[in-house]
Amino acid sequence: HDAVAAGQPHRARPSPAATGPLYVAHFFIRLWRAKGSIYVETLSERFATMAEKKYRKEESGGARKRWKKKSDDGVKDLKKEIEMEDHKISLDELVERYNTNLETGLTEEEAELVLKREGLNLLTPPKQTPELVKFLLQMFGGFSALLWTGSILCFLAYGVEKSQRSDVSDDNLYLGVALAVVVFITGCFSYYQEAKSASIMKSFSKLVPQEASVIREGKRYTLLAEKLVIGDMIEVKFGDRIPADIRVIKSSGFKVDNSSLTGESDPQLRIPVFSHDNPLETKNLAFFSTSAVEGTCTGLVVNTGDNTVMGRIAKLTGSIKEEATPISREIAHFIHLITALAVIIGVTFFIISLSLSHYWLRAVLFLIGILVANVPEGLLATVTVCLTLTAQRMKIKNCLVRKLEAVETLGSTSVICSDKTGTLTQNRMTVAHMWYDMGIKDSNTNEDPNDPTKTRRESSPTWDALARIIGLCNRAVFKEEYSNRRILDRETVGDASEAALLKCFELEVGPSISYREAHSKVCEIPFNSTNKYQVSIHKQPDQPEYVLVMKGAPERILDRCTTALVNGQEVPIDQQFRDAFNGAYIKLGGMGERVLGFCHYILPSSSFPQGYEFSSEEVNFPVEGLCFVGLVSLIDPPRANVPDAVSKCRTAGIKVIMVTGDHPITARAIAKSVGIIGPESLTVEEVAERDGISVKEVPVGVAEAIVVHGQTLLDMSDEEVDEVLCSYKEIVFARTSPTQKLRIVEGCQRAGWVVAVTGDGVNDAPALRKANIGVAMGITGSDVSKQAADMILVDDNFASIVTGVEEGRLIFDNLKKSIVYTLTSNIPEITPFLAFIMVGIPLPLGTLTILCIDLGTDLIPAISFAYEEAERNIMARKPRHPTKDKLVNARLISLAYGQIGMIQALAGFFTYFVIMADNGFLPARLLNIRQEWDDPTINDLSDSYGQQWGYTERKNIESACHTGFFISIVIVQWADLLISKTRINSLFQQGMKNKYLIFGLISETCLAMILAFCPGVSTVLRLQGLSGHWIATPLLFSLLIFVYDELRKWLLRKYPGSWVEKETYY
């Protein structure tokens, strides 16, 4: 109406009936394109016609552009840092904002209204591509579209011939069925491989707690967590999963495990006090899906469902389009190349055959033959099986591959963004150093299971006192079911730091249970955020005095002490001792270690006799004027084999970037210890300190290494992020959030790098999904991270990634060998049809026989390359360039088609002409004889010597020629298999260690003999037995191929960089 009112011509909406043919045509065209470019659309868009789209564009103007902009803006919003005020405002403002009551909570009516407005406390799953569309994409995409076309044309040709005469051959029917079966099985297999990757949102849904303890109208009861609303008051206790984002109102020793969300390995204390502007850093917020590991809490719900921090991560993860893997792009490129070649050659010769006055049906059969000969039907199956076999090998080496294409992607990786906790480190706090008697001592962790006393420290008065505090001022205990394990491998109940101290005691002193029984506890004050210490009082065996032991923050402990134990003697704490204390504290902290202080006090029996009633509430015992004993530092130590793995990455040209939620000092210390930051490299901060300038004044490029704090990254533009990534060789990002990790990955991809990302938490899911290859942790990894990843490290070990890189590089090299081997036989398969059309000779090779080569004799040998060993040290070369180093390049095509393939074609034709000549038809007589040869009414066709041949006899000779040509291809493929084993080494250097390749050689020969000589099979394929000298004919060409390629490789090794390498090294 608006258009008419504006004086514009009214354009009617096209009816589906009028555009029906366009629906079908457009559907198949888009399917073919989609498969080639690894592109997926919704079903409704698939079926939208071109006319419909034009109408929509004119009718709605910029509506679609507006929708796309809105969608892009939504993703950009999700990538922004979380902005909240609920942790900053006062409780009165909070109560007013959510119209609630801190004592009685919401009323049922208010809760119902909020529920209707905000919706259920659930995560919304993203839209999924219908399974039907996925199946059709696999069934009709890429090569499949060509083969379906060939199959339909076969059925069409058979139907037309059958309608014209009754004695028609069944060859076209067999071929049509064979092509359809091949495409259907390949499509089903590809769909199965894709369908194995489950939806990422299914794993997010597991994070949603089932029930919550809520306070409404002053009543406490259990409610389904999905029915919680903003403003609800809830109670959380130890062991619960937090059902929504909450503001902490009351707490008692409440700690949460935020590791899956922020990457922090230690439990985080939560109190009602605002402590940081960043919502993820403040102590008065607890987040949906994190777990309560200690204490209790009463909280006010401030976010539910998709609006929670976890909900934002889930939406961001679901909105990220997975990057096409390098191998998928290579295969798409290869499909486009071969498809274009097949179509161009097929259509060209179809037109030529029509111009040569061939019957249209005969021209169609030519077209089918050329399509089948051009398309390597077994190649995609070969690639899939090779990747599968490599994935199985990687599984043995602790790399579990979820997506087959990830096998090769890891080999293409140029940057690894690695998490710290559990990947580079052991994910268990360990006592690293001790400071007592004015010196730093290493902790002994070399446990000898046969003689535990070997690890025990030599007794001294100060050490005995420190060990007593470590063992007694400790609430951690071992789980009984793990008592038969090594001490360091035993699981414990309690805080991670206390577990480390407990293991240290067991190693350095002895069994903790008997020691604690001998020193029974009579009173205890647990650690709290106000005092920042833990204290307990114990009886002493054979002593009337009680002993008070305390541990906590070093500075707080020292402030409570007036004396120190040095070499067994109590001495006053003077400035000299304080300086030594500060020096040790700074040194241990600078190594990224968490430091604790320890002190004790022998309570005099006169004031505290046996049976004295100690009170932790009134604190009727001294907590000041104590005796300082020493310091203990803890760290999550690096894995033993990580430094070697990082060194291998450097050699292989792979940049390793640490991305962690931990403190920058700890991150830098670990980075230095594993080699991510070299021993001689200075960070920006160290250069600034050396030169006496500020960090901002340090010029870019002066320092080799940089540690970037998450807060700094927050203020950086994308251009500044790119500058950091490209300007520094050694990079550590600390205190990063999930969106910042995603920004880092995107920056690496903008630089053209192939990025691998490791992660174990929910916070890592967006980056894992965005990366070219996401690597999750098998032991500590959350279900969400595993679903988002392409590969899982079973042992959580960074060194396993390096193994995967090596396997990935090897499979890329071996896939090249499989492809060059497979493509080479295309030339002897295509040229018979070209000669058939161009020079009019009887058909030298049947179309069904081509399928027998591609899907039969060539298949096992092609797959056997997956087991081939590397020719050189593949970890000493740089990563391949994703756009320049193609899987199939011009040199590979030139070698396969223009050189080896031509020799193979010569072998086939030589055998063909020998068989024809032995039967009286010299080459000159065969030219332009085709029409007479194929005419069933001619039974007196003369050969070169005047003998006359009937139609049946001629077809028998043709069957012998088909068999000869087929056997010739198999024999020259022997040589092709041997020369494809290496790309530069001589076969004599590489050797024949690959037993699967030998098996492939034997199976290829046996299968060829069965197809050619087995009754029944040979009849269907129109093959027949041959005399010995015909079979021996192509052996000379096989030898020629081997000698030619050995000479080519010798020139490659002798003259590196020469024109031979530039033209033939693929």
The listed range with the strongest mean pLDDT (73-87, 319-333, 626-640) is 626-640
Which residue reads 């984002």 in tokens? Answer: 245
Cα of 178 vs its chain's centroid, Å: 36
More confident residue, 263 or 969: 969
Q: Give the strand pairing for 430-436 and 626-635.
A: antiparallel
Q: What is the DSSP string of 143-174?
A: HHHHHHHHHHHHHHHHHHHHHH-SS--SHHHH
In DSSP terms, 551 is beta-bridged to 534, 598
The first and second tokens of residue 729, run together, are 């060789």
More confident residue, 873 or 553: 553
Residue 417 phi, psi (nearest 5): -95, 105
The first and second tokens of residue 446, run together, are 């070399």
Tell me what the pLDDT averaged over the chain comes to. 82
Between CA 440 and CA 443 the distance in angstroms is 10
Sheet containing strand 655-659, edge to edge, reads 399-401, 791-793, 773-777, 755-759, 415-418, 655-659, 730-734, 705-709
Which pLDDT score, from 0 to 100, does residue 14 have? 39
More confident residue, 1046 or 1019: 1046
Residues in contact with 645: Cβ distance below 8 Å, sequence separation at least 6, in sequence order: 798, 799, 801, 802
Which pLDDT score, from 0 to 100, does residue 787 have? 76
Under the phi-then-psi rule, with left for phi > 0, alpha for psi from -120 to 50, and beta for the rest, what region is 460?
A: beta
Q: pLDDT confidence of 340, banded at 50, 70, 90?
A: confident
Between CA 834 and CA 827 the distance in angstroms is 10
Surface-to-core class of residue 521, CB atoms within 10 Å of its CB (0-12 exposed, 13-18 middle, 19+ buried): middle
Cα–Cα separations (whole angstroms), residue 979 to 509, 665, 794, 821, 1031: 65, 55, 37, 9, 22
Residues in contact with 814: Cβ distance below 8 Å, sequence separation at least 6, in sequence order: 386, 865, 866, 868
More confident residue, 887 or 595: 595
Average pLDDT over residues 412-430: 85
Please, what is the angle between helix 20-36 and helix 143-164, to 10°?
130
Under the phi-then-psi rule, with left for phi > 0, alpha for psi from -120 to 50, and beta for the rest, what region is 983?
A: alpha
pLDDT digits (tens, 9 = 90+) for 658-677: 998 777 888 888 899 899 99
* Sign of the four-CA dihedral 498, 499, 502, 504: negative
Whether pLDDT at 1059 is above 60: yes
Which pLDDT score, from 0 to 100, does residue 44 have? 30
pLDDT digits (tens, 9 = 90+) for 127-139: 667 878 888 887 8
Between CA 604 and CA 50 the distance in angstroms is 95
Q: pLDDT confidence of 404, banded at 50, 70, 90?
A: confident
> Are the beta carbons of 895 and 1066 closer than 8 angstroms?
yes
Surface-to-core class of residue 174, CB atoms within 10 Å of its CB (0-12 exposed, 13-18 middle, 19+ buried): middle
Which pLDDT score, from 0 to 100, does residue 369 have? 73
pLDDT digits (tens, 9 = 90+) for 436-490: 999 999 887 666 555 555 556 778 899 999 999 999 999 999 988 767 778 887 8
Cα of 643 vs its chain's centroid, Å: 22
- Residue from 874, 892, 717 nearest 809 by CA: 874
Whether pLDDT at 939 is above 80: yes
Residues assigned a catalytic role: 419
Whether pLDDT at 751 is above 50: yes
Which residue reads 């790098």 in tokens? Answer: 753
Whether pLDDT at 28 is above 50: no
pTM: 0.73
Whether pLDDT at 46 is above 50: no
DSSP 704: S
Q: pLDDT confidence of 767, banded at 50, 70, 90?
A: confident
pLDDT digits (tens, 9 = 90+) for 555-569: 999 999 999 999 999
Cα–Cα separations (whole angstroms), residue 506 to 426, 483, 515, 594, 641: 19, 12, 10, 20, 26
Q: Give the strand pairing for 655-659 and 730-734.
A: parallel
Between CA 1057 and CA 1053 the distance in angstroms is 9
Between CA 915 and CA 115 the distance in angstroms is 86
Residues in contact with 419: Cβ distance below 8 Å, sequence separation at least 6, in sequence order: 263, 658, 659, 660, 758, 759, 760, 764, 777
